[in-house]
Amino acid sequence: MATDIEDTVRPVEAAAVMGLLPARPRLLALGEPTHGEDALLEVRNELFRQLVEQHGYRTIAIESDCLMGLVVDDYVTSGRGTLDEVMEHGFSHGFGASAANRELVRWMRAHNERVGDAGRPASERLRFAGFDGPLEITGAASPRQALTALHGYLSARVDADLLPCTAEVLDRLLGADDRWAEPAAMTDPARSVGRSAEAGELRTLADDLVSLLDEHTPHLLAATSRDDWDRARLHGRTATGLLRYHRWMADTSPARMNRLLGLRDRMMADNLLALAARGPALVHAQNAHFQRVKSTMRMWQGPVEWWSAGALVSARLGAEYAFVATALGTIRHQGVDAPPPETVEGLLYALPRDRCVVDVSRLTAALGDPRPAPRVSPWFGYASLDPAHLAAIDGLLFVKDVPDTA
């Protein structure tokens, strides 16, 4: 079997990844099995650089707050702000502290400046995006930023009589932002404001504002730039998504966590589809957000299940969506030692390669039936590969050892 497995792998290069696919997908997703490891992000950076330079991808997006990501996009496209400021204010989930993420942003800015004194033409510039909602495990942000930005965009460009409310009414209904971001609301629905009278009125107003944006698209595109209109649509998606999320945070039914997890991935999917509509995009997140199979998890109240962003996007884009998962051998500083030899990770670990791209169809044939049992992860922060899901991914990136770079 070792010889057969050896025949399934290639060097980690853009050509190897694209060789697994029938054509260049509009959305190429690279997953990771754990967060916070710069060694994995360094592999991502090099692979994405090759895909940009050799295959014409123009957007790089990661699993970070979509509104904060606008700060990074402004920097890489126009040089607004400093790199230090961008890393502090442009990322959620602590991702701004990553040296590899910093290098990614630095390289994207340098790429856009590389052609002449004026930099690259706008149509050729690299763009950055976060595609997660303004959400953390402990709760969700206030919808203030998204709602007020959308209202401000419309109030400057359409007749005031068409607006469903004034900015002052929005401010009054929103109230203090900390009541929306109450961490205790994640486990105690009674602490959430999501089903208050004010929240209900805000949901109606947000829907009206988004509808007004859509109704006046011809005028708005003529009166402003496509980028400004795209941002207004992002603010609209985020406002309605956050208000919907807060509503379910206040729910007490058994469906509560299923809906919250599904809503988060639905927000991700909507952002990914918007990026795909703009042009070819490279996206990076935890494997689970990109998988095509139904997601499951056991939480404090019992098992939950939902469809991931990747499953939703794949259903819409078909062959225009591709997913390359990442698996690994060891993260010894987290207690993840060499994988059992009978697992998929163990078979790949036995090869004399530090990292490789794996042809999943060849790997599946080499494994035969029955397939190996999944590796049992000894650390909650690392999700191992499930061999039963191999048919639902387009390629596999394997990294043998993840060193401690802290």
Q: Give me the percent of the chain exceeding a pLDDT of 90.
A: 92
Largest CA distance in the chain: 72
Given a contact cutoff of 8 angstroms between Cβ atoms, the answer to whether 329 and 348 are in contact is yes
Q: Is the pLDDT of residue 341 over 60?
A: yes
Helix (H) or strand (E) holding 62: strand 59-65
Question: If you average pLDDT over every residue of the chain, what do you get?
Answer: 95
pLDDT of res. 56: 96
If 0-12 CB within 10 Å is exposed, 13-18 middle and 19+ buried, where does residue 63 land? buried
Per-residue pLDDT tens digits for 314-338: 999 999 999 999 999 999 999 999 9
pLDDT of res. 138: 84
Query: pLDDT grade, residue 117 (50/70/90)?
Result: low
Q: Is the pLDDT of residue 144 over 90?
A: yes
The residue-averaged pLDDT of 302-309 equals: 93
Tokens read off for 223: 């009166």
Per-residue pLDDT tens digits for 251-303: 999 999 999 999 999 999 999 999 999 999 999 999 999 999 999 988 777 88
- Which are the contacts of 335, defined by CB distance < 8 A and separation ≥ 6? 378, 379
Amino acid at 315: A
pLDDT of res. 121: 84
The residue-averaged pLDDT of 172-190 equals: 96
Q: Output the CA angle 357-26-75, nearest 5 degrees.
A: 95
The residue-averaged pLDDT of 11-17 equals: 98
pLDDT of res. 116: 55
pLDDT of res. 118: 63
Query: pLDDT grade, residue 229 (50/70/90)?
Result: very high
pLDDT of res. 122: 82
Closest listed residue to residue 310, CA positions, set 8, 98, 25: 25
Torsion of CA 88, 171, 194, 71, to 10 degrees: -20
The residue-averaged pLDDT of 176-200 equals: 96
Per-residue pLDDT tens digits for 204-215: 999 999 999 999
pLDDT of res. 399: 98
* Helices assigned H by DSSP within 23-120: 38-55, 69-78, 83-89, 99-113
Q: Is the pLDDT of residue 88 over 70?
A: yes
Tokens read off for 362: 């060849």
Residue 381 to residues 36, 169, 278, 339, Cα–Cα distance (Å) = 10, 43, 33, 16
β-strand 355-358 against 395-401: which pairing, if any?
antiparallel
Give me the residue spans of the domains in the chain. 6-136+268-402, 139-253
Query: pLDDT grade, residue 115 (50/70/90)?
Result: low
The residue-averaged pLDDT of 99-117 equals: 89
Given a contact cutoff of 8 angstroms between Cβ atoms, the answer to whether 181 and 139 are in contact is yes
Q: Is the pLDDT of residue 24 over 60?
A: yes
> pLDDT: is 138 or 154 the higher one?
154
pLDDT of res. 268: 98
Q: Is the pLDDT of residue 119 over 80?
A: no
pLDDT of res. 137: 82
Dist. CA 370–CA 346, nearest whole Å: 16
- State if pTM tops 0.75: yes
Q: Is the pLDDT of residue 369 over 70?
A: yes
Residue 292 to residues 183, 267, 288, 312, 396, Cα–Cα distance (Å) = 31, 16, 9, 8, 14
pLDDT of res. 124: 87
